[in-house]
Amino acid sequence: MAIGVVLLLMALSGLLMLKWQASLAKIEIVGSTGSWPSSTAVLTQAGVLEATYNYFKIIWPALVLGILIASIVRTFIPANWILTLLGKGKTRQHIVGGLAGTPLMLCSCCVTPIFSSVYASGARLGPSLAVMLASPALNVAALILTFMMFSFEIALARLLASLVAVFLLPVLIGRIFPADTLARAASLEKLACDISKDENITTVKMINLFVKNLGYTILVTVPFIFAGVILSSIVLPMIQSGFGTESIFTIIFIVFLAIMIALPTFFEIPLALALISIGAPGAAAALLFAGPIINLPSLFVLGRESHPKVAVSLAVGIYVIAVITGMIVTLL
C-alpha cells in the first residue's frame, strides 16, 4: 500500500508538472501579446487520419499519465479509501469528487481511464462523474485564459455552467441511476484489485497485478477513445462554419457538434474566438463550456464502463446546460 501511495504521488506530480508548465507558458504568451498564439488548423483543416494522428500527438503524454494513474489506483490503493471518499453518494462525496478532479487539468479523453478506475474501485456513479467532469471543466488555466481572452460575461457564463455541470448534474444522474450499473460488478470480479486483502502479497505478484490492470485499462479505454477521435475528426471541421451570425439555431447546432468533438486542452478557445469573429457570442460561450467537458470518446468509455443510458443522460444534461448558457449570453 505504501509503495502504491508513493507511485501515485510520483505520477500525479509528473502530471501536474506537465500540465502547469504548458499552461503557465500559454498564459504568459497571451498576457504579453494579447492574442492567441496557435492555430487549430492541425485538427480542423487536416484529413480525418491526419487530424486523428495530430490529436494523439498532442495529448499522448497526458493520456499515458492518466492510464498510469488509473492503473496504480486499481492495483495499489485500497478500495475502502475510495469508498470512504466517494462511495456513499451523498452531497459531500460529490463535492470531494469535483475537487479531486479539478487539479488534474486533463482533457475529457485523458481523464476517462481515471474515471474507470475510480468507479471500478467502488465509488458511486455521481461522485465518479464529478471527478471525470471537473478535470476538463474546471481546468484553472483554461478558465484564467478564458477571462483573459473573452468578455467578462462570456467567461463568467463558462465558469457558472461548469460549476453546475460538475457539482449538480452528477447528483441528478446518480439519482436517476441509484442502483449504479451492471458493468461494475463484472469489472470488480475480473480485477480483484485491492491487494490490501492479500497478506501474502509479494513483489512479483504486485508487478503482475499492476501489468494486468495496466493492460485492462488500456484495453477498455484506448480503443473507444481512438474510435471516438476518428468520428470527432469528421465532425470538427464543421464547428467553424456554424450558421453565420448569432441565432438560437446557431447555438443549437454548435452545441450539438461541441458535445461530440474531441479537443485537446485549450483548443476550445481559438474555436470560440472564431465564433466571436462572426458575431456569435452565445455560441462561443456554449462551445467554451461544452467543447472540453465531454466528447464522443469519453461518452463511449462512460457507456462501456457504466451503461449506455448513463452516457446518453450525461450528454443530454450537458447539451441542455450549454444551450441555456448560450441563450443567456445572447440576451445579455
Task: Render pLDDT for 139-196 as a digit per residue (tens, 0 to 9).
Answer: 999 999 999 999 999 999 999 999 999 999 999 998 888 765 444 544 444 444 444 4
Detail the DSSP E strand segments found in the chain.
none
What is the Cα–Cα distance from 27 to 319, expressed in whole angstroms?
A: 29
Nearest alpha-carbon partner for 74 in 191, 204, 198: 191
Section 44-67 average pLDDT:
86
More confident residue, 184 or 310: 310
Q: What angle do CA 133, 48, 40 make, to 5 degrees?
A: 60
On the CB side of 23, CA atoms within 13 Å amount to 22
Report the pLDDT value the prediction gives residue 201, as an integer from 0 to 100.
64
Burial state string for 276-311 with b = 16 or more CB within 10 A and e = fewer than 16? bebebbbbbbbbbbbbbbbbbbbbbbbbbbbbeebb
Q: Tell me the pLDDT band of 293, cut-offs 50, 70 and 90.
A: very high
Task: Locate 96 and state its grid cell.
Answer: 470531494
Annotated domain spans of the chain: 2-331
Q: Is the pLDDT of residue 272 over 70?
A: yes
Report the pLDDT value the prediction gives residue 329, as an integer from 0 to 100.
93
More confident residue, 41 or 25: 25
What is the Cα–Cα distance from 74 to 89, expressed in whole angstroms?
A: 20
Task: Locate 191 and state its grid cell.
Answer: 480485477
- Among 108-117, 258-267, 321-330, the range of highest mean pLDDT: 321-330
Report the pLDDT value the prediction gives residue 192, as an integer from 0 to 100.
43
69-120 pLDDT, tens digit each: 888 888 877 777 777 777 665 678 888 889 988 988 888 988 998 898 888 8
Report the pLDDT value the prediction gives residue 187, as an integer from 0 to 100.
47
192-246 pLDDT, tens digit each: 444 444 556 667 777 888 888 888 888 888 888 888 888 888 877 777 555 556 6
Q: Is the pLDDT of residue 12 over 70?
A: yes
Task: Locate 31 and state its grid cell.
Answer: 498576457
Q: Is the pLDDT of residue 31 over 60?
A: yes
More confident residue, 262 or 328: 328
Where does residue 106 rank: exposed (0-12), middle (13-18), buried (19+ CB within 10 A)?
buried
Residue type, 3: I
| Spatial contact of 321 and 288, defined as CB atoms under 8 Å apart | no
List Cα–Cα distances, 272 to 76, 99, 101, 250, in angstroms.
41, 26, 24, 13
| Spatial contact of 117 and 301, defined as CB atoms under 8 Å apart | no
| Spatial contact of 115 and 104, defined as CB atoms under 8 Å apart | no
Q: Is the pLDDT of residue 282 over 50?
A: yes
